[in-house]
């Protein structure tokens, strides 16, 4: 079932009684989710992503715009008639019911011709429980389960009615780091096995990138960019997206373009074709640095963090917007750094990998494309 959002807008009346301006939680959303895909709705907290999810679920009614499931307009349908499954951040399991009863609960609401016999219900419950691999925990109460197990029960409960669309609201944020990785792989597996169109809300970019077919990056109710995770990472549409994706985060500098050269601080760091002279923000991914004796980009060395697979060189630069500049280098560079560490005020020289360098307009913060690739 594909999901289409057309001009979807949600305004809330302002909490502040004095100002009568509405808060626009979701501003003019237009996008299409192809059938059977997993979409990550990504943004910092308060960006309206949960509101967007609740609009799709029907728990909230949009101020403007329409929602289509397939070709059917579901905008005015109540949640129970939309054929959706919803998983909450805190799982929302009924604490007084055991696992089996929790999964059974949605089926017992069916009325009329949809009503199932007891054995049919049980069959469906077992099927859903098997899918998420909790069929051996059926008699336990939610409080007797670990966070990961509770999450599986919540997913099973959302899936038991065979929804057309599965909605997950921050499903991993209450789990510890190890379980989070395990569970997100699990969600990916279940989604691929069932082929249900899935929308996944998260503030964790790593989470979204790792399992989504496509990600939608949001800020203050406005979609910033939609695309495949790698594509968005490699080619952010604006400074916000560039900063939001990637760990460690992108390094941002103030710079300027002058006669086809990119100048950061006092260094001319790159040759740039086809960009008029202007003030810019320069974003450089940590992996975009290469240490070279004759590198054109100079930074004062602060410390070196050894991570095993690679090393992180932390330095400072007067033009940097962030307090420190972080470069990630492969371990081959170890020797040359050891020599420099002893002295105060050692400078390191980098040259830059041009596809890891992004320019953004200082005013609009929009991406300025350069070079022949034109990414």
Partner 1 sequence: MAEKVIEQKNMTAYQKIEMTARRRKKTAAVITYILLSVWAVIVLFPFYWMVLTSVKSYSAYNAEYIPRFFTLSPTMQNYVEAFTAVPLGRYLFNTLIFTLVTTLVMLVVITLAAFAFARLEFRGKNVMFVVFLSMMMIPNELAVITNFMTVTNLDMRNSFAGLILPSVMSVFYVYLLKENFEQIPDSLYYAAKVDGTSDLRYLLRVMIPISKPTLVTITILKVIECWNSYVWPRLITDDPDYFLVSNGIQEIRENGFGRENIPAMMAAVVVISLPLILLFLVFHKKIMEGVSRGGTKG
Partner 2 sequence: MMRDKTINSGLKGWIYLLPAVLFLGVFMVYPLVDVLVYSFEEGYNSASQTYFGIGSYNYAYVLRDPYFLQALKNTFLLVIITVPLSTGIALLISLGLNSIKPFRDLFQTIYFLPYVTNTLAVGMVFMILFKKTAYSDGLINLLISCFGGEGVDFIDGPYWAKMFVLCIYTIWVVMPFKILILTSALAAVDQQYYNAAKVDGTSKFRTFARITLPMISPMIFYLIITGFIGAFKAYSDVVALFGTNLNAAGMNTIVGYVYDMLYGDSGGYPSYASAAAILLFAIVFTITCINLLISKRKVYY
Contact positions vs partner 2 (CB under 8 A): 12-13, 15, 50-51, 54, 59-61
Considering beta carbons, is residue 80 or 185 the nearer one to partner 2?
80
* CB closer to partner 1 out of 109 and 146: 109
- Closest approach, Cβ 93 to partner 1, in A, equals 8
CA distance 114 to 109: 9
Q: Are 283 and 273 in contact (CB under 8 A)?
A: no
Give the one residue of 50, 51, 57, 149 binding partner 1; rule: CB under 8 A: 57
- We find the least distance from the C-beta atom of residue 22 to partner 2, in angstroms, to be 11
How would you label 207-221 residue by residue, b for 16+ Cβ within 10 Å and e otherwise? bbbebbbbbbbbbeb
Q: Which of 332, 282, 286 is nearest to 309 (CA)?
A: 332
Whole-angstrom distance, CA of residue 144 vs CA of residue 147? 10
Residue 192 contact, options partner 2, partner 1, none, Cβ 5-8 Å cut-off depending on partner type: none
Half-sphere exposure (Cβ direction) of 195: Cα atoms closer than 13 Å: 2
User: Could you tell me which residues come within 8 angstroms of residue 341 by beta carbon, excluding any fewer than 6 positions away?
Assistant: 301, 304
129 in Cβ contact with 99 (< 8 Å): yes
CB of 143 to partner 1, least distance (A): 12
What is the closest distance, in whole angstroms, from the C-beta atom of residue 19 to partner 1 in the complex? 22
Q: Is 81 in the site for partner 1 (CB under 8 A)?
A: yes
- Cβ proximity of 134 and 186 under 8 Å: no
The interface partner of residue 13, options being partner 2, partner 1, none and the CB cut-off 5 to 8 Å by kind, is partner 2
Phi, then psi, of 45 in degrees rounded to 5 = -65, 145
Interface residues for partner 1 in 149-178 (CB under 8 A)? 157, 161
Residue 287 beta carbon to partner 1: minimum distance, rounded to whole angstroms:
39
Candidate segments 1-9, 64-72, 78-86, 304-312, binder of partner 1 by CB under 8 A: 78-86
Interaction between residue 85 and partner 1 (CB under 8 A): yes
Binding site for partner 1 (CB under 8 A): 54, 57-59, 78-81, 84-86, 88-92, 94-97, 105-106, 109-110, 157, 161
């Amino acid at each position: 079932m594909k999901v289409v959002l057309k001009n979807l807008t949600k305004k809330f009346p302002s909490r502040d009684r004095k100002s009568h301006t509405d808060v626009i939680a979701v501003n003019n959303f237009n996008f299409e989710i192809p059938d059977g895909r997993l979409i990550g709705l990504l943004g910092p907290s308060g960006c309206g992503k949960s509101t967007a999810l609740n609009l799709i679920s029907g728990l909230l009614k949009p101020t403007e715009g329409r929602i289509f499931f397939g070709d059917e307009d579901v905008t005015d349908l109540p949640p129970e008639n939309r054929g959706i499954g919803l998983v909450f951040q805190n799982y929302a399991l009924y604490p007084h019911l055991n696992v089996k009863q929790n999964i059974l609960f949605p089926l017992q609401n069916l009325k009329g011709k949809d009503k199932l016999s007891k054995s049919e219900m049980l069959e469906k419950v077992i099927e859903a429980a098997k899918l998420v691999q909790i069929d051996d925990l059926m008699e336990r109460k939610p409080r007797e389960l670990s966070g990961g197990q509770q999450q599986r029960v919540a997913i099973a409960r959302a899936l038991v009615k065979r929804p057309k669309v599965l909605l997950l609201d921050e499903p991993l944020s209450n789990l510890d780091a190890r379980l989070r990785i395990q569970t997100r792989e699990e969600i990916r597996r279940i989604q691929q096995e069932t082929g249900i169109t899935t929308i996944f809300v998260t503030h964790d970019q790593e989470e979204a990138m790792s399992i989504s077919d496509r990600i939608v990056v949001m800020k203050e109710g406005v979609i910033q960019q939609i695309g495949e995770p790698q594509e968005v990472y490699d080619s952010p549409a604006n400074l916000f997206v560039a900063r939001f994706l990637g760990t460690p985060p992108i390094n941002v500098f103030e710079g300027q373009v002058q006669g086809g050269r990119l100048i950061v601080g006092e260094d001319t760091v790159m040759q740039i074709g086809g960009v008029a002279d202007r003030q810019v923000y320069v974003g450089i991914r940590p992996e975009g640095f290469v240490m070279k004796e004759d590198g054109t980009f100079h930074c004062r060395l602060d410390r070196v963090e050894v991570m095993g697979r690679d090393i992180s060189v932390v330095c400072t630069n007067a033009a940097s917007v962030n307090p420190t500049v972080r470069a990630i280098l492969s371990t081959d560079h170890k020797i040359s750094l050891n020599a420099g560490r002893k002295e105060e005020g050692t400078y390191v020289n980098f040259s830059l990998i041009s596809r890891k360098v992004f320019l953004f307009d200082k005013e609009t913060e929009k991406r300025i494309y350069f070079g022949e690739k034109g990414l």
